[in-house]
A and B are shown apart, each in its own frame.
Chain A
């Protein structure tokens, strides 16, 4: 029995997902602590905890309108004075249409398996994954180690391909919006969006572009006044 063939389209999609995830882990990974070093590969350059957190960050990568809404929250809260300018850039470049990759809502929120892109990243020695069980909690936590080759690859790709530069910048923005919030806190934050929360299980989380545009316009006018 022959092995199933993977189409070029599927392969290139996996490659693009892998690049996005690499930039995201690169941006979101924090420095290794001494405790982390126990499990970390020798060439680890940083650590990003929990698959849930990675999924929440990726949701904002794939849904620029939801990210813009968070930025407007921060602008209104006075936490991000340049929030309106960033949102204007997102809306004017039509990112909510051109860079939207919708996700399905599951029990714990938006989720899409990242097995294939992560395998690709692992095969080149960019990322290492460590799953650890916690007997007391009864759950397994996934930890992503960014390897030195992975950090170098992200820097190389951003420098060499202008079309990939966006991922590096956007990943940095998404991480800055997430701050040091835990995965649970991020999940709760994302659930505050009416459209997100009201999406049925296993249904596509709908765009909120129109509402964000309206909100942006009213805030812009308020700022201009």
Chain B
């Protein structure tokens, strides 16, 4: 089981996957907005999405789990 974590404080502005999606290493999974910058958060490894743990427009803290996949 792998966790995609927020690299910094920010707001979730795009969620590009849903449970069941097969994802590749390096694929953009979630986009955060922080410091007026859109920051794509990429999968560290390949897998299948199990759970999306964030909502659109949600403010997330650093290291918050955004997506769980395996």
Q: Do A and B come from one complex?
A: no
Chain B residues close to A by CB (< 8 Å) = none
Chain A residues close to B by CB (< 8 Å) = none
